[in-house]
């Protein structure tokens, strides 16, 4: 079984090209967080602890550690190595030397604090895990996140964000991170939370609303139930369905908020023709992609951004071969009852009822870990660290706000590519053009069908 700890070990070993034992050893290192007793430092300490504790050990207040992180005060001598953290209302700084303390008022809203907690985790893990010595790109020192570069609109907290005719596709890591950030933005209405899958062994390494005892619980109702207390005026409605089945029941969905875990599923969501798409994804721990658009657009659609790539086809073939099913079965996105019956013909020790609702990636990883695959399949399916998924989720929530503000602006940016290991750069948001070979918007009949479906929308069709 691939546990949360093993997910992190595989991730670190792959990205630093380490022996598994070396990666495992690095992840046993601990961090001590010492915070000044002002409210902003204390809140940052809490956010940071939540982002770090699923990856490394956060020491209890009486313990020594491998690295001390001092927020808004001097270090306490709890570790030989130390980093200084400072937050005020304009920026977050993480540095080896003590940053000059600003006397600025510390009125930092929850959304900026969420970003700060995620971003602060990057230089801290980088240092604690010895990533630079192991050959990973260095991080800046001082590491300065200017809140102005996040792209949060000034009017963010003016009025509530309204959720009508919208759905969240994906209740996994980014879906968790999305709701953790969204709880700091006034929101009203109803948000369907859609996911056909169940919690896998390793999910607790990054899904902050889930824990290790949730294995096999359906993700959508679990996330809705856990997050419900964080929303006074937004109703979360769980559906154990694929997005396609949800759309088939509803007829159409105006806005898809996409937090699923595969490129293929993203292309099928585009084929279900939402008028608006807001999307965020991660590529292991190295990059985050944020995309949004409203039809009609001359720019990229979701299927342009997540085009079919040869690497993806090779991986799907290997997973299909390992599980004893076809690539067409994989296209369904998760293990159905019919596919489970096929899988147990090759994997006779499995209980078909127990694998229904699993992601193919998760089942494949589990069989790899148990060395129960018929061939020596070596495809790495890697899960990011918690702070990476949660940062992607926070950007997804922010992108919903940005789309609300400027959906009808034909020149708006629709794409944002960033490294979670570098401070944000406001100029990284760009407008990506259509792809000429796109499986959706390069087909005139798809655009015609889109026009017919949304002919009643202002600015549309
Ligand atoms: Zn396209």
Rounded distance from Cα 61 to ligand 1 centre (Å): 52
Rounded distance from Cα 431 to ligand 1 centre (Å): 13
Asked if residue 70 and residue 94 are part of one domain, the reply reads yes
Mean pLDDT for 104-123 is 91
Does residue 29 register a pLDDT over 80? yes
Residue 112 forms part of a structural domain: yes
Domain boundary among the residues 150, 168, 197 is at: 150
Mean pLDDT for 319-340 is 89
Rounded distance from Cα 267 to ligand 1 centre (Å): 9
Rounded distance from Cα 279 to ligand 1 centre (Å): 14
Mean pLDDT for 392-407 is 93
Rounded distance from Cα 315 to ligand 1 centre (Å): 23
Q: What is the CATH number of the domain that holds 104?
A: 3.40.50
Does residue 376 register a pLDDT over 50? no
Q: What is the CATH number of the domain that holds 188?
A: 3.40.50.720
Residue 18 forms part of a structural domain: yes
Asked if residue 231 and residue 143 are part of one domain, the reply reads no
Rounded distance from Cα 269 to ligand 1 centre (Å): 12
Asked if residue 71 and residue 27 are part of one domain, the reply reads yes
Range of the domain at 69: 4-150
Rounded distance from Cα 261 to ligand 1 centre (Å): 19
Asked if residue 128 and residue 173 are part of one domain, the reply reads no
Residue 343 forms part of a structural domain: no
pLDDT tier, 41 (very low <50, low <70, confident <90, very high otherwise): very high
More confident residue, 181 or 201: 181
Asked if residue 195 and residue 60 are part of one domain, the reply reads no
Task: Please state the three-class secondary structure of the chain as a single string.
Answer: CCCHHHHHHHHHHHHHCCCHHHHHHHCCCEEEEEECCCHHHHHHHHHHHHHHCCCCEECCCCCCCCEEEEECCCCCCCCCEEEEEEECCCEEEEECCCCCCCCCCCCCCHHHHHHHHHHHHHHHHHHHCCCCCCCCCCCCCCEEEEHHHHCCCHHHHCCCEEECCEEEECCCHHHHHHHHHHCCCCEEEEEEEECCCECCCCHHHCCCCCCHHHCCCEHHHHHHHHHHHHCCCEEEEEECCCHHHHHHHHCCCCEEEECCCCHHHHHHHHHCCCCEEEEEEEECCCEEEEEEEECCCCECCHHHHCCCCHHHHHHHHHHHHHHCCCHHHHCCCCCCHHHHHHHHHHCCCCCHHHHCCCCHHHHHHHHHHCCCCCCCCCCCCCCCCHHHHHHHHHHHHHHHHHHHHHCCCCCCCCEEEECCCCCCCHHHEECCECCCCCCCCCCHHHHHHHHHHCCCCCCCC
pLDDT tier, 448 (very low <50, low <70, confident <90, very high otherwise): very high
> What domain count does the chain have?
2
Residue 377 forms part of a structural domain: no
Domain boundary among the residues 97, 131, 150 is at: 150
Asked if residue 21 and residue 127 are part of one domain, the reply reads yes
Domain boundary among the residues 117, 150, 183 is at: 150
**How do residues 205-221 score in pLDDT, each as one tens digit?**
999 999 999 999 999 99
pLDDT tier, 461 (very low <50, low <70, confident <90, very high otherwise): very low
Asked if residue 172 and residue 136 are part of one domain, the reply reads no
Rounded distance from Cα 73 to ligand 1 centre (Å): 50
Rounded distance from Cα 258 to ligand 1 centre (Å): 16
Mean pLDDT (the chain, rounded): 91
Residue 332 forms part of a structural domain: no
Asked if residue 192 and residue 103 are part of one domain, the reply reads no
Rounded distance from Cα 271 to ligand 1 centre (Å): 10
């Amino acid at each position: 079984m691939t546990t949360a700890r093993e997910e992190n070990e595989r991730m670190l070993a792959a990205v630093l090209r380490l022996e598994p034992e070396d990666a495992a050893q690095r992840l046993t290192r601990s961090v001590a967080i010492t915070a000044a007793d002002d409210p902003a430092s204390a809140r940052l300490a809490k956010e940071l602890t939540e982002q770090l504790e699923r990856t490394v050990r956060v020491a209890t207040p009486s313990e020594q550690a491998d690295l001390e992180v001092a927020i808004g005060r001097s270090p306490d001598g709890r570790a030989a190595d130390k980093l200084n953290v400072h937050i005020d209302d304009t920026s977050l700084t993480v540095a080896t030397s003590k940053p000059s303390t600003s006397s600025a008022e510390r009125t930092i809203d929850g959304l900026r604090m969420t970003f700060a907690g995620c971003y602060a985790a990057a230089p801290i893990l980088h240092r604690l895990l010895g990533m630079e010595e192991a050959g990973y790109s260095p991080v800046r020192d001082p590491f300065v996140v200017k809140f102005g570069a996040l792209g949060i609109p000034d009017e963010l907290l003016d009025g509530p964000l309204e959720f009508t005719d919208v759905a969240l596709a994906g209740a996994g890591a980014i879906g968790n991170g999305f709701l953790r950030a969204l709880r700091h933005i006034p929101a009203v209405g109803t948000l369907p939370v859609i996911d056909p899958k169940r919690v896998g062994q390793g999910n607790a390494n990054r899904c902050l609303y889930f824990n290790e005892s949730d294995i096999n619980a359906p993700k959508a109702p679990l996330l809705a139930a856990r997050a419900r207390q964080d929303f006074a005026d937004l109703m979360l409605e769980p559906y154990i369905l694929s997005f396609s089945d949800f759309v088939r029941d509803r007829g159409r969905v105006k806005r898809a908020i996409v937090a699923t875990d595969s490129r293929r599923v993203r292309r099928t969501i585009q084929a279900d023709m939402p008028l608006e798409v807001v999307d965020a994804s991660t590529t292991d721990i190295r990059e985050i992609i944020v995309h949004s658009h409203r039809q009609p657009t001359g720019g990229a659609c979701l299927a342009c951004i997540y085009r079919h790539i040869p690497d993806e086809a090779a991986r799907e073939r290997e997973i299909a071969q390992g599980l004893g099913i076809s690539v067409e079965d994989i296209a369904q996105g998760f293990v159905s009852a019919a596919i489970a019956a096929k899988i147990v013909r090759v994997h006779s020790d499995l209980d078909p009822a127990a694998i229904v609702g699993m992601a193919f990636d998760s089942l494949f990883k589990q069989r790899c870990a148990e060395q129960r695959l018929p061939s020596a399949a070596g495809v790495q399916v890697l899960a990011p660290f918690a702070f990476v998924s949660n940062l992607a989720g926070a950007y997804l929530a922010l992108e919903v706000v940005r789309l609300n503000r400027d959906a009808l602006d034909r020149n708006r940016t629709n794409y944002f590519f960033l490294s979670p290991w570098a401070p944000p750069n406001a100029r990284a948001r760009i407008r990506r053009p259509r792809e000429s070979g796109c499986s959706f918007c390069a087909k005139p009949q798809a655009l015609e069908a889109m026009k017919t479906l949304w002919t009643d929308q202002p600015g549309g069709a």
